[in-house]
Amino acid sequence: MITLIQRVSQANVAVAGEVIAEIGRGLLVLVGVARGDTQREAERLAERVLRYRIFADGEGRMNLSVREVKGAVLLVPQFTLVADTSGGLRPSFSSAAPPGLGASLFAHLVAQIRASAVPCACGRFGADMQVTLTNDGPVTFWLEAEAREP
């Protein structure tokens, strides 16, 4: 699993012109599920997202997690993150998980974040979504989850 996380002051997701999810201060997390990913990768990724220290402490250093600043998480499925762009002028999506597996692992990731008691909203798997955000910083990181112990 791959994520692109962005520290935001606000973000929302709309489908067909209707806002279906929104947060204030927190993390917008774009999520790509690859072939071969398992629930373990989703669990590891949830842990990393919740513990990743990218919010400023009292001295202005990136030293606090979304949980510590009482922020929220907005998860948005985005299969294009796992595209192979190494050749040609068109991306290949053969490395993306099949839709059923992708939806299942995205749902597992959502459940893991929600179980942490950090407020969590999410986009709709397979939908054409419009994502609006105010990137705070800007601060953006690419995180991957490997099935290993922290």
Would you state the pLDDT for residue 149? 42
Residue pair 23/72 in contact (Cβ under 8 Å)? The answer is yes
Catalytic-labelled residue, pool 80, 130, 132, 134: 80
Q: What is the mean pLDDT of residues 22-40?
A: 96
Which one from 78, 106, 112, 125 is the annotated catalytic residue?
78
For the chain, the average pLDDT equals: 94
pLDDT in tens, 44-53: 999 999 999 9
pLDDT band at 33 (very low <50, low <70, confident <90, very high): very high
In-domain check, residue 103? yes
pLDDT grade for 146, boundaries at 50, 70 and 90: low
Q: Report how many domains make up the chain.
A: 1
79 is catalytic: yes
Asked if residues 39 and 89 have their Cβ atoms less than 8 Å apart, the reply is no
Q: Which domain holds residue 55?
A: 2-144
Q: Exposed/middle/buried for 74, CB within 10 Å: 0-12, 13-18, 19+? A: buried
Whether 112 sits among the annotated catalytic residues: the reply is no
pLDDT at position 150 over 60: no
- Give the DSSP H/E element, type plus range, for residue 31: strand 26-32
Please indicate whether residue 78 is annotated as part of the active site: yes
Residue 32 has pLDDT above 70, yes or no: yes
Segment 78-113, tens digit of pLDDT: 999 999 999 889 999 999 999 999 999 999 999 999
Q: Is residue 28 part of a domain?
A: yes
CATH for 24: 3.50.80.10
Q: Which helix (H) or strand (E) holds 123?
A: none
Q: What are the distances in angstroms from CA 67 to CA 12, 46, 146? A: 19, 12, 22
Tell me the mean pLDDT in the region 24-32. Answer: 98
Q: Note whether residue 44 is domain-resident.
A: yes
Residue 147 has pLDDT above 50, yes or no: no
Instruction: Let me know if residue 150 belongs to a domain.
Output: no
Name the one residue in this structure whose structure tokens are 């209707």: 18
Q: What is the mean pLDDT of residues 64-81?
A: 97
Per the listing, tokens 């990731």 go with: 109
Question: pTM of this prediction?
Answer: 0.93
In a domain, 149, yes or no: no
